[in-house]
């Protein structure tokens, strides 16, 4: 079942239906570390993430913690089944949530009938994705499946919590190897995604919008991928950073459409030092690419050794500083 998040669903609605969704829900803003609800609390509303990352920690000892990102739904199971909260939900960073109250649901279903189908589809997808990865054999973790039916984040968390050593492999539908991620005691220690290695390969694996194919995890004593950069951060930190990066990447693509063609405007222009942490490698590689010829942003990835987020960050910085401009657009008289 292909994934269809809330924002994709909204593109299918009429203007009248969109207004109904907005009228029959409300937006809630939270600061970093703020509790959305504790476990055991009565449930009278569910949430869809507009921005930020939410951390769910189950009350039951055998439950699996999870990070949720933009477009994900949570809290709906308790609302629909009239049960107390099964998890503690916390804003892992500043977040914005769309809140849907139990009392507004009948009117929402009346005015936007497709919303009910959307909720059912999302619940079914989560059920499919959660069934096999959490059913771990006693003698070792052996996972496999199609990425259309399983969430890569859930697969990663399952491997992390299993504390096993092995290799997660992803193969395209045509049989081509896309990625390999090696784990030692549940910790990622090296990785490859297409032409990237190390942490950049890890980030790109979770940034990829249309990752298709099959995955498999096999327990093995091999400790690392030979000849690639290592990963040294804790498994949970890597996952949290990947979720943050995904959110930022979506915003950058809205600002800088991947198909936009840019050209070098000021190859020798010295910009003021950036206040943001921009990868020096990404800046150098992006400048090199544009010094050769004008390009679409989407053409940069194969020519760079960093993940797409860093590429877009570098392009944004170079556009702001005056190094780059849209191909064919009039050159500004001055750069502030």
- The percentage of residues in the chain with a pLDDT greater than 70, rounded to a whole number, is 85
pLDDT tens-digit series, residues 72-127: 899 999 998 889 998 999 998 888 999 999 999 999 999 999 998 888 888 877 77
pLDDT tens-digit series, residues 200-211: 999 999 998 778
Predicted confidence band of residue 229 (pLDDT cuts 50, 70, 90): confident
pLDDT tens-digit series, residues 156-177: 888 887 788 888 999 988 888 8
Distance from C-alpha of 317 to C-alpha of 314, rounded to nearest angstrom? 5
Residue 307 CA neighbour count, 13 Å, CB half: 23
202, 238 in Cβ contact below 8 A?
yes
pTM: 0.67
């Amino acid at each position: 079942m292909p994934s269809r998040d809330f924002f994709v669903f909204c593109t299918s609605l009429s203007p009248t239906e969109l207004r109904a969704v907005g009228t029959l829900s409300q937006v809630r803003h939270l600061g970093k570390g703020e509790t959305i609800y504790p476990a055991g609390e009565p449930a009278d509303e569910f949430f869809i993430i507009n921005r930020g990352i939410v951390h769910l920690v189950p009350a039951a000892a055998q439950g699996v913690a999870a990070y949720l990102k933009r477009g994900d739904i949570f809290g709906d199971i308790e609302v629909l089944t009239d049960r107390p909260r099964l998890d503690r939900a916390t804003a892992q960073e500043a977040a914005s949530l769309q809140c849907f109250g139990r009392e507004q649901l009948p009117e929402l279903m009346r005015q936007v009938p497709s919303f009910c189908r959307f909720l059912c589809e999302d619940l079914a997808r989560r059920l499919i994705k959660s069934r096999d990865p959490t059913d771990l054999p006693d003698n070792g973790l052996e996972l496999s499946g199609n990425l259309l039916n399983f969430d890569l984040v859930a697969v990663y968390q399952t491997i992390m919590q299993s504390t096993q050593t092995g290799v997660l492999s992803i193969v395209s539908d045509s049989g081509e190897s896309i990625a390999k991620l090696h784990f030692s005691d549940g910790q990622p220690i090296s990785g490859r995604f297409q032409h990237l290695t190390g942490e950049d390969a890890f980030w790109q694996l979770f940034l990829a919008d249309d990752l298709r194919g099959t995955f498999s995890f096999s327990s093995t004593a091999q400790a690392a991928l030979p000849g690639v950069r290592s990963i040294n951060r804790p498994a949970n930190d890597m996952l949290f950073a990947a979720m943050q990066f995904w959110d930022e990447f979506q915003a950058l693509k809205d600002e800088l459409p991947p198909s936009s063609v840019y050209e070098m405007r000021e190859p020798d222009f010295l910009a003021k030092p950036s206040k943001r942490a921009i990868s020096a490698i990404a800046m150098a590689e992006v400048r090199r690419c544009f010094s050769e010829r004008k390009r679409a942003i989407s053409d940069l990835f194969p020519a760079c050794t960093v993940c797409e987020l860093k590429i877009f960050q570098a392009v944004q910085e170079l556009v702001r500083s005056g190094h780059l401009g849209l191909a064919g657009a009039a050159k500004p008289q001055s750069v502030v």
